[in-house]
Structure 1
């Protein structure tokens, strides 16, 4: 019964968005609002990255999720019921990376899997968002329904056609039609219907500003809600391993957890994301001959990501990430190495084009006085635009 209610709710919201002739509920639109930091934690489509571009240990990395791959091969998966059915696959990311040495020769292979245990930001599958979105536009929805019911009572076909055209101009089209530009009979009809359904907020709205566009007013509350959900919690867990060119499997294994949570009001042109990452690493002990996993290191890295957004479309343009890292060696400690070590880290992430980011990572080790810098290039691409827009 619960599944039936959820699916019916999904269909209701999808139909509402279609009636509004917008693409606000599209996965592409939802993905465009996410930060670059978020896409590095959980990617909704595809990402190709070159990590440590000018360093000795370069990586060429590809990341995706099973649903994006399946939708690329079968666009029917973008139909609302199928999209919801396979929603758990969107929470799973897999990645493969080839390691290159200073001479750009193959030096190893990395594979990883991440899964979002909690992802309240994905508005396209969030039941909470569906309920909130419908409630946010409750009066507009009920007024729209009441207008349609009135049209159904008109006996004359020609008159019914004219009124339906007026209804479309008011509730569906992205036009410049405002309430005060409607003729008096249409204004009186809308006010009468609003009184009938007790739409007090709507009546107060047109009283304060008779020049409102009804369709745009309903869309604004929907857009604001989308932005508010960008502050919701994301928590992922993952595991990755490294295989070197000598074909020793599982040379390094890392078990990780990462949490993101917005802090400031996401309707502003800047925001702050709380970012907490933990890793438990089983690493090859280089002191001993051959390869093993006898060196174990735990790291805890709390930080925050400052996001500067465009005032036009609310997309993230520049991000500054600051964090501190605590590392503890449980076993396999090297000579003259401390069990505990602190580092300070910073990342400047710049959106060069719509889906291409250049993150510059800097790490400072106060104990040794070392500063490390890494330049990466990350391209996020969708590859299923036609499938999404078509469905």
Structure 2
């Protein structure tokens, strides 16, 4: 969080400088772009695994149904990430902002293996998300925390002007430069230290300078820290909607013989300490029936759950639990003794083993038949070429 706040302050201060001077320095733009990229990476690390499984941050490789007869390998990424491999300049802020559609357009491909590890099915698909949580840096710098930082900057600027005027009148020009250089040195030390919040503590200024600062000054750092966290949490609670289509091909099927249409809606829930989000999913699938090759199996599924970050450190999740209820309606292709309407009580458990490696365990309980199922998956998120 401190790193995000530090760089965010840097962005806001550069914005204020540019507004005052009515000019944009190319070196300043480079710093701003780099700062925004770092913030984007920092915030991406804090995304829930449940959210990352909907749409890939960069590239995601998933191994599904491990130990089962029908193991699957899936790779997904966004159109933006593919384009960025050829053009690293897309990571520059103004280019990145223009690529909203490609950043939210996902492409995926996968393989299913038989027991003898031979390829059985090839799958491909695409989807698009309406991301109310798209935290461009322009959104962050216009939040309430930015107003607090602007007030701090103005307070400090006014104090320096009043201090300089006072010294000139009482002690002469020679001491004016000497004392003002001390203030500039304090500011420079904070700019050079990335681990410090850019709001300078009152105690670091000379005593004769402090009386020119407002009474509100000593509260700026604490207020900014709290408000910035609240701003980010507010964005995390915004709605997220994804709709996608998948198609499966084997040596006997044709295009669109086997397909799946699915939609996902996530909505963050405000809590004091624990990250939670409502998860609502619906899908319609058409695929080869196990019972008979004469009919296609057609089924509709609807799931409603609550994803909970059970264990986290520095706002990064390490263990997530998503209890959910599922309703299935089988329209055709029923297996022997199978019912058209099915109710399941499920639980998705996701454990972060490494920074970019998650192990999801999906547990399903058939309420009608008293049967229990379990599926073990692995998902690995990795980056391609970025504008370092």
TM, length-normalised to structure 1: 0.78
Q: Which one is further off, 339-348 or 133-142?
A: 133-142
Q: Any idea what SS the aligned residue of 2:216 has?
A: helix
Q: Is the 8 A contact 1:273 1:304 kept in 2?
A: yes
Unaligned runs of 5+ in 1: 1-10, 195-202
Query: Of residues 40, 59, 63 in structure 2, which corresponds to 1:27?
Result: 40
Could you tell me which residue of structure 2 aligns to residue 83 of structure 1?
96
Query: Of residues 244, 262, 265 in structure 2, which corresponds to 1:259?
Result: 265
Could you tell me which residue of structure 2 aligns to residue 277 of structure 1?
281
TM, length-normalised to structure 2: 0.79
- Match runs of 1:128-277 below 5 Å: 130-143=142-155, 146=158, 162-169=182-189, 173=193, 174-175=195-196, 178-189=201-212, 191=213, 194=214, 203-204=215-216, 206=218, 218-219=224-225, 221-246=227-252, 248-265=254-271, 268=273, 270-277=274-281
Q: Which one is further off, 136-145 or 323-332?
A: 136-145
Per-residue CA deviations over 1:313-357 (Å, capped at 9, x if unaligned) read: 210010111111111123444554322111111111000011100
RMSD in angstroms over aligned alpha carbons? Answer: 3.4
- In the alignment, the residues of structure 2 paired with residue 152 and residue 256 of structure 1 have an alpha-carbon distance, to the nearest angstrom, of 65
Q: Is the 8 A contact 1:123 1:229 kept in 2?
A: yes
Cα distance change, pair 111–229 in 1 and its aligned pair in 2 (3 A): same
Residue 98 of structure 1, CA deviation: 0.8
Q: Any idea what SS the aligned residue of 2:53 has?
A: helix
- In the alignment, the residues of structure 2 paired with residue 237 and residue 125 of structure 1 have an alpha-carbon distance, to the nearest angstrom, of 26
Q: Is the 8 A contact 2:291 2:334 kept in 1?
A: no
Aligned length: 353
Q: Is the 8 A contact 1:120 1:126 kept in 2?
A: no
Could you tell me which residue of structure 1 aligns to residue 324 of structure 2?
323
- In the alignment, the residues of structure 1 paired with residue 132 and residue 347 of structure 2 have an alpha-carbon distance, to the nearest angstrom, of 26
Per-residue CA deviations over 1:85-108 (Å, capped at 9, x if unaligned) read: 112211111111111112211111
Q: Is the 8 A contact 1:172 1:215 kept in 2?
A: no
Cα distance change, pair 63–144 in 1 and its aligned pair in 2 (3 A): farther
